[in-house]
Structure 1
């Protein structure tokens, strides 16, 4: 009788031999034998259920099975694919007639019980574990360890740690069944900087130009702030392509990189050696257009802007055909895309290269004229559809126009109701045969209402401010209480309420604006009402005297219309403004008279052009300018006042120091204010690098009179200096920001002719220039934050004769802005004034000043 153990061993060896052989090569199974599976036993399990494993193998007791055969090979391959086991084997335990009994022996891989990471900051460990997916219960495999190691090394290499070393070790964890703990040691080393870049082989193009072409790989220099000199392999490979492009821009079409070598100087520095081959210089020859019917050759050559004999520039040729770096580029592709030919394609082909001249054929496939079929909008949970669609330049049935899509994005962003960074037009269902396409605009609602709550001490006591601004208001649902969320919203109207109060004054205002009056054209209607009351204050006894009062009651109604000429970025506005100044025993020196009333009725005309965008909070391109002229009636022509006599009486009152006579004189002179006032403000935005933006600003203001004898009114003047926050102004003044100086300190001081005291009555002319470099920290809907640095200069003057646009007070500084939908704009600036202001007590430069910005323009 044969030994059962020997028989089992023999059959197992035979089975393993055949299984191994079948997995390694194709063989014939002519000697295989068919059996009935009598049973399958699984051994070696620690955490898995035996029946689960049997079910997964797909083998069933009673099924026919060939030994050796494909069934067993497939089962083993399938189980290996799970990566749950470190050892898998199949045995024949016995054979009874035509029945074979099998045993599947497996060894489970250990599971991860704990991970310790050393060599990095503790707060970054969680991110590392998340990125590498090293979580408790994960099966530990060779690939898991290898992938985690490679990921971490590459991660820190991308950050400039070129020689990062990562060691991963595991150890048995006896506290759990079949578990192991893991320890990761990360040695980042030093950030590796590029000490030198040595370029060889270039004769026609200088090293300086080639090094400048490399955007992200830079030599280490003390003066370099914006672009660091870290060595990052991926960035370096991109820069090598830019290096070749630089040659191509200068006619060297065949230029190539022969070799690039990285030399380790020490643990902190490397030297890069690049060897290039320039090749010959080429020029453009004949450029022929083929396949164009919509535009003639002359028009296409105008847009292409490349002539025969120009130095060959492969990069320029590509941009003039289709510039992918600018959404609104003026190139040949955009010419077709902006005229309905969405499916057009333009391909330049080199036809011949004779000596140093390359002839091109630009093949145009115009395709079928394309029209918009469906235009849809999604994501507007609060804003009604009609508010969005009236801003879109893309309508069903219109020709496809890429520039209209870009303009629609800008207009939607300018509303302020949506996150401008996430406005995405999705081109859907393009049908070249039918010539139709659909557009879906995906929007993300942003908070459009703001609340202003402030508190502080000043003006003789506590000052409290409450402001509510609803920028997507719906007045038609004012009495529909179901629409209050928390106020009726969705129609794009603006409603602002503001209350400011202290012991000494009260300010109330309400403003309503409808941007599309009538709903058919972009005609903005605006109505505002305000009332301000100021009480006398005894600074010695800190008492309020309500017998001394000064109030301003004002109302403004206006219309603004978007026009089509010179282009549709222009808006013309007109309004009527009335203000009543009412004095009751208010002899505090602010004005020459303490009793009486003064009226101001003015017509305001404005022209503005706004094309900045696409994000209104952080514009990166475009410009804004605004010219506003304010005129009163020329009352001195028909009010029958003898201004010669009035001026003579005033001179006499000054000589006699007769305050009563001087007050009576001013009551007559200023019963109806007579003036004209012109303001100009311009902003230009230019992207310098990535999201680094330069903002250039200039401002100018002038207050004049029709009648020199009537003089310039003491109202509506310009006060320059400080943070520019002019929420509480009694006399219609313009408060102009000039950082680096105290509030209103860049405004001339004058001597009161009666009291002899120094004081400010405002400038009648001012100008200001500023440059800002801005860089965003985050532009998320919840909060947009950007940092800035600025240069500023400005001044104000008492009369036009003294005006010198180049005599300015200069400053520089840094700041930060935070925009939160619920609270508006918040910011802080640290500015240094290089010049002395007009305060009589000032000595030397203004020096460092801190300015807090709340709710000012972006």
Structure 2
């Protein structure tokens, strides 16, 4: 066969195409990139995305079309995509000139379920996981889950749960989601079996261990959990121990070591503490250097740190605070005092050089108030004595905080001085309050041998609509008395703080319900108007008038004294009176809810004028005095006195007599049972003279140290009521002792007391258990 030149060339071309066709086919298929390469990318395709937008990937890989791409460029893109944490796998392929990015997204968290937790609330644990990065809709990361497991375990270990086991499970859900399950087995608590302090020679180990919040098992451990080991609490107890020694002059006291060991079953903890007490040091020379703004005499006079005294760290801190507060009174908000100590071991004294840096004088730019969701800003601002755009005044700020606290509207009041970075001579004052419930329903319950159960109730609304006005509608529907009283008080009727109060009331009293009082009923109706004028930051005077009409309904066997009193007013024994009143109140308490220091004094004088059918005068005086015995213990005393006498030739109204007895008066005795007795039936008539003094020692409930909302107290009450013809005498005085519980609970204030008379008279009615409740709404 003959071939032409053209045919031969065609034959060679066909065979060459056959030979290279696999190679051509190969580069048009998706090829994973290996080794070194360089290619011009004409297109980029992203595969495998479900939730993430392709645009997000394009912005991350930083590869443009028509750009030459090599291995280094692709490796950087893969690294960037992995670092986002969005992807479980990243692969890059080349299909011709098209760059293909194949991704496998990490699943998102569809749900998180925690079971088995008793020590912590599930909401608190979920919040902790959220801070780590584990929460619903977030991309699931197994490393974070392992981190979360360890963090949760550490929390349980810090609570003494050494047998805790935490296991997590991952269950797939639809749409590339997973359900995370965390199962917690808390195990038995590690309880403190023994605490030993070695090296303590000057103090008994028992006394030192009483300082600790963590203790070995006692009869209250089931409630306080004080024998449950906690690493953080142990560190706090060691600081308390250190402070105890420093406050007694042991300046070189040191804790050499602490050892915590577990029993084999990890349920018992043994704690050993080794200390070196050192020697007692006295205060040597005290030298204050720096700019004292001419206040050196005041500062030296008020320093608690005195030469020759045994050193006390408390006195040192008080002295530093005196310096800082005094300079703060002149606008130096950030004045600081730094002590430098020089020990003299041979004389066991320590000299102090206190360096004072007054800093810049500043003025207040703004006063910001927060936390008052219901109370209006103006109600708080009108109590503030620090002015905006005025020099900073620490004393005015302290007074402002005290006045806001005494309103009684807030659980807590915090004042902070906030520096302004852009201006060294300006500060902002932040006042943060936590509001109390604004209304209350009150109830009282008592038990006695004569009355069995006595129940009273009432309703009132304070800080009405957050305006600072007090609107009260008191309703008392007990068997003994019925009271319907409406009162409206605007404490800032004028901008200067003059208050105005309207009162209207009707009261009925059925003495027949109390066996010791006799058979009679009193029905009183009245209305009044009062004004209050402040004349210092702590004092206010009151004046006003009221009209009152009173009917006495005598039963079949009323007290003889009532029969005699009613003779001039027969046949219906009704009287009316127009009363002028003058009063004074001084309040220096640090807190209107649970005072720890300060006094509250009230004095009042009522004069029933000749314009009415009875003319008399009635004086009352009360003082409440609070003093801290220690950081957590408060002593309180309350003196109540009263005196009434007739004028204009009339008798003193018997329904205005003073009474004593009951939880609000002389505890341990029945309500209104103390007073002059009727000569015929022995019923209580009250009296025209009253002296009652109540003493309480309030201590925190074990396990709630520092919480002043719930405290137990021991009390001693003494006093009596004397009639018009009786002289004040010790013979008439009654006295009781007892214990009780005071609690500002979530449902309102609760008071429970158990009392026993230590001095009583024949015929007195004893009320051993007394209970009072106030429910908030």
Which TM-score band (shorter chain)? 0.7 to 0.9
Residue 294 (structure 1) shift = 1.3
Q: Distance in 2 between matches of 1:505 and 1:217?
A: 50
Given that 1:368 and 1:432 are in contact with CA atoms closer than 8 Å, whether structure 2 keeps it comes out as: no
Q: Distance in 1 between matches of 2:168 and 2:471?
A: 62
Q: Distance in 1 between matches of 2:513 and 2:291?
A: 83
What does 1:563-574 align with in structure 2 at a 5 Å threshold? 563-564=535-536, 568-574=537-543
Residue 333 (structure 1) shift = 0.9
Of the three residues 394, 398, 421, the one matched with 2:412 is 421
Q: Counterpart in 1 of 2:602?
A: 626
Aligned: 1:700 with 2:704: no
Of the three residues 758, 781, 784, the one matched with 2:682 is 758
Residue 308 (structure 1) shift = 3.8
Q: Counterpart in 2 of 1:411?
A: 403
Q: Distance in 2 between matches of 1:240 and 1:466?
A: 49
**TM-aligned CA distance change 1:750 to 1:151, over 3 Å:** farther
Of the three residues 672, 688, 705, the one matched with 2:614 is 672
What does 1:115-514 align with in structure 2 at a 5 Å threshold? 115=112, 117-120=114-117, 124-125=121-122, 127-133=124-130, 135-170=135-170, 172-173=171-172, 176=174, 178-204=176-202, 206-208=204-206, 210-214=208-212, 216-222=213-219, 228-265=226-263, 266-279=265-278, 282-295=281-294, 297-314=296-313, 316-322=315-321, 331-350=322-341, 356-375=348-367, 388-396=380-388, 398-416=390-408, 419-421=410-412, 424=415, 427=418, 429=420, 435-439=425-429, 441=431, 448=438, 469=461, 471-472=463-464, 490=467, 492-496=468-472, 509-514=485-490
**TM-aligned CA distance change 1:299 to 1:202, over 3 Å:** same
**TM-aligned CA distance change 1:200 to 1:762, over 3 Å:** same
Of the three residues 612, 615, 624, the one matched with 2:589 is 612
Q: Distance in 2 between matches of 1:677 and 1:715?
A: 15
Q: Distance in 2 between matches of 1:503 and 1:183?
A: 59
Residue 232 (structure 1) shift = 1.0
Higher relative contact order structure (alpha carbons within 8 Å, sequence separation ≥ 6): 2
Where 1:153 maps in the other structure, the secondary structure is helix
Given that 1:46 and 1:177 are in contact with CA atoms closer than 8 Å, whether structure 2 keeps it comes out as: no
Equivalenced residues, count: 718
Q: Deviations over 1:602-635 (max 9, x none)?
A: 5544443212244x334454332323344568x9
Q: Distance in 1 between matches of 2:538 and 2:457?
A: 35
Q: Counterpart in 2 of 1:36?
A: 40
Q: Counterpart in 2 of 1:796?
A: 720
Q: Deviations over 1:568-597 (max 9, x none)?
A: 323333445554434588776262125344
**TM-aligned CA distance change 1:597 to 1:407, over 3 Å:** same
Residue 400 (structure 1) shift = 1.7
Given that 2:242 and 2:253 are in contact with CA atoms closer than 8 Å, whether structure 1 keeps it comes out as: yes
Q: Distance in 1 between matches of 2:250 and 2:478?
A: 73
Where 1:167 maps in the other structure, the secondary structure is strand
Where 2:656 maps in the other structure, the secondary structure is coil
Residue 337 (structure 1) shift = 1.0
Residue 234 (structure 1) shift = 1.7
Where 1:624 maps in the other structure, the secondary structure is strand
Given that 2:674 and 2:764 are in contact with CA atoms closer than 8 Å, whether structure 1 keeps it comes out as: no
Where 1:239 maps in the other structure, the secondary structure is helix
**After the TM superposition, which of the residue ranges 264-273 and 251-260 deviates more from structure 2?**
251-260
Residue 262 (structure 1) shift = 0.7
Given that 2:692 and 2:720 are in contact with CA atoms closer than 8 Å, whether structure 1 keeps it comes out as: yes
- Structure 1: state its 5+ residue gaps: 16-32, 323-330, 473-484, 540-547, 636-669, 725-735, 778-783
Given that 1:162 and 1:231 are in contact with CA atoms closer than 8 Å, whether structure 2 keeps it comes out as: no
Q: Distance in 2 between matches of 1:279 and 1:618?
A: 40
TM-score by length of 2: 0.76
Given that 2:304 and 2:318 are in contact with CA atoms closer than 8 Å, whether structure 1 keeps it comes out as: no
Q: Distance in 1 between matches of 2:311 and 2:699?
A: 36
**After the TM superposition, which of the residue ranges 133-142 and 762-771 deviates more from structure 2?**
133-142
What does 1:81-120 align with in structure 2 at a 5 Å threshold? 81-88=83-90, 90-91=91-92, 93=94, 102-113=99-110, 115=112, 117-120=114-117
Residue 318 (structure 1) shift = 3.8
Given that 1:612 and 1:622 are in contact with CA atoms closer than 8 Å, whether structure 2 keeps it comes out as: yes
Q: Deviations over 1:193-213 (max 9, x none)?
A: 322222233445554554355
Q: Distance in 1 between matches of 2:359 and 2:458?
A: 60
Q: Distance in 2 between matches of 1:444 and 1:283?
A: 44
Q: Distance in 1 between matches of 2:89 and 2:183?
A: 29
- Structure 2: state its 5+ residue gaps: 1-18, 445-450, 515-519, 703-707
**Pairwise CA RMSD:** 5.0
Residue 332 (structure 1) shift = 1.2
What does 1:713-728 align with in structure 2 at a 5 Å threshold? 713-724=653-664
Given that 2:475 and 2:483 are in contact with CA atoms closer than 8 Å, whether structure 1 keeps it comes out as: yes
**TM-aligned CA distance change 1:14 to 1:189, over 3 Å:** same
Q: Counterpart in 1 of 2:11?
A: none
Q: Counterpart in 1 of 2:741?
A: 814
Q: Deviations over 1:196-236 (max 9, x none)?
A: 2222334455545543554x333444467768132211222
Residue 255 (structure 1) shift = 3.7
Q: Distance in 1 between matches of 2:121 and 2:377?
A: 44
Q: Distance in 2 between matches of 1:278 and 1:122?
A: 37
Residue 260 (structure 1) shift = 1.6
**TM-aligned CA distance change 1:218 to 1:63, over 3 Å:** farther
Q: Distance in 1 between matches of 2:475 and 2:269?
A: 63
Q: Distance in 1 between matches of 2:367 and 2:721?
A: 55
Where 2:586 maps in the other structure, the secondary structure is strand
